[in-house]
A and B are shown apart, each in its own frame.
Chain A
Amino acid sequence: MSGLRVQDVTVTRGAGPVIRDVAFTLEPGRITALVGPNGAGKTSLLESISGVVPAASGSVSIDGTDITKQSRVARAKLGLAHIEQGRAVFPGLTVVENLKLTARTWPRVEEVLALFPELEKRRNSPTALLSGGEQQMVVLARAFAARPRYLLIDEMSLGLAPVVFTRLLPMVTRFAEEGAAILLVEQFTHLALGVSQDALVVSSGRVTFQGTAKELLDAPETLHSAYLGE
């Protein structure tokens, strides 16, 4: 039973539920775009999968193992990686040190750096001194270095110029081709759907569309209504 399975997950924050009975499965080698308006609950959903926040009900499993009650560390050890919203670099650590945290071996650090020539040049700079785009590359490279089988990416594009973002997207595709299952949360809906096979639309905490990325691209009104909150 390979795959990351989310079953009827509800997440409660502050006043009430921000995610209600959400269910879907991520399969190896496939990218799933998760789109929806601000405040729809995308980040909360990702956080409940990786264990940043607990799920109030429902369950999450990886390859048949129920991880709903497991710690963040245990989930990461099962091959789950979560790229958080914002620039989740360790600012005081150098680029190489950031990578070393997940790469474990030097050859792996070099292998990952080779994918990002911009970072290779600044390998010994503290990440605090890098540009926003470079910092996001560090985060992406750091996630790849661990060779996760399941990767949750929360708004990689935030604050980046579209050119930089379109430069990073092929990396994600390539990683999926190597067999990872990816959940891609994006504001640049069309760019995200362009590289994805599957799509999920959430609005006010509920899934309002579930299907292939192509179906969603062919039915723009589905997307519009989600964003307009209908």
Chain B
Amino acid sequence: MLQGALAGLAAGGLYAVLAVCLTLMSRLVRVVNFSQSATGMFGCYVAVWLSIHVGLPTWAATVVGIVLGTALSALLGWIISTWLAEADIGTRSAVTVAVLLLLISLSFILFGNKPQPFHPVLDGPAFTVGGVVVSQVTVVTVVLSVLIAVGCRTLLTKTSFGLELRALSERPTTAELLAIPAKPLAVAVWAVTGLLSTLVISIVAPSQSNDATSLAMLVVPASAAALLGGFRRLDLAVIGGLVLGMAQGAVAQVDSLSVVRYFLPFLVIVGLLLWSQRKEVWDVAR
């Protein structure tokens, strides 16, 4: 079990980073970004293609992939903040579902539907606990998820950039009347979350199921983790991601339960939604 849980921690770190991105997006730019991991997947696939067909070194191809993932996300953000600036969160989020499907199809057309021959960016064990080997990928993703959450929190609470973002998320029109540039700030949030997702996917993808659909659908476990923090709290999003990853790893070890791991994110989402509903019913009853 411990071995399984530790093995699941790398995926957990990946979920955690994506959950932080989803939380930032929902809080700051009013969108549930269903294409959060799809843009990252696409950037990584282009990186793999560049390293195989153009012969770029892995690191250079990875950098290009991350830049592309960032640019794709920024472009989508620009489109949504230009034409759907006043639209409600449902409409804005629906656009990202379309982008998710578009990117999956596009990667089938461009790269085929087989998993890609990823070159690991990081390789090998970091250390051993109780006879269980912990990989470098695991250490880096977990540390990265915590650093990103702490960094974003600090940025939001301690800098004037963060202050403007919070103002914008509370009253967009009032913020604009105070000369806070809504669109550039929103596009910046899209770009940063695009960068972070592509970065973490390029680290973890080589050691996971990495066909286009699996990578694009990472948004499901990430949503489950973000939901634990109510799409508001970064700390709970990170904890949710890590715990979910470990739980999946642990059940994968038990033969009779191993298929359960694929349903775990859905079970968590349904469970959390029911839990929050129960609380509302309770509040209404009082």
Contact = CB atoms under 8 A, between A and B. Distances in A.
Contact of B163 (A71, A91, A100): A100
Contact of B180 (A50, A92, A101): A101
B83 to A, nearest CB: 15
Contacts, number: 53
Interface size class on chain B is 10 to 19
Contact of B179 (A52, A73, A91, A92): A73
B184 to A, nearest CB: 9
B271 interface: no
B206 to A, nearest CB: 41
Interface string B9-23: 000000000000000
B38 to A, nearest CB: 31
A50 B179 CA distance: 11
A194 B181 CA distance: 37
Interface stretch (A35-43, A81-89, A220-228): A81-89
Interface stretch (B63-71, B169-177, B262-270): B169-177
Given A90-B171, A93-B170, A73 B180 contact: yes
Nearest to B184: A73
Interface in B133-183: 160, 163-164, 166-167, 170-171, 173-182
A52 B85 CA distance: 13
Given A73-B179, A76-B176, A92 B163 contact: no
Contact of A90 (B167, B181, B182): B167
Contact of A82 (B160, B167, B177): B177
A226 B177 CA distance: 31
Interface residues of A, number: 21
A166 to B, nearest CB: 26
Given A100-B160, A101-B164, A92 B170 contact: yes
By Cβ-Cβ distance, the 3 closest A-B pairs, closest first, are: A76-B179, A72-B176, A90-B170
Interface of A: 50, 52, 71-73, 76-77, 81-82, 84, 88, 90-93, 97, 100-102, 142, 146
Given A72-B176, A92-B170, 10 more contacts: A72-B177, A76-B177, A77-B179, A82-B177, A84-B173, A90-B166, A91-B170, A100-B163, A101-B163, A101-B167
Interface of B: 160, 163-164, 166-167, 170-171, 173-182
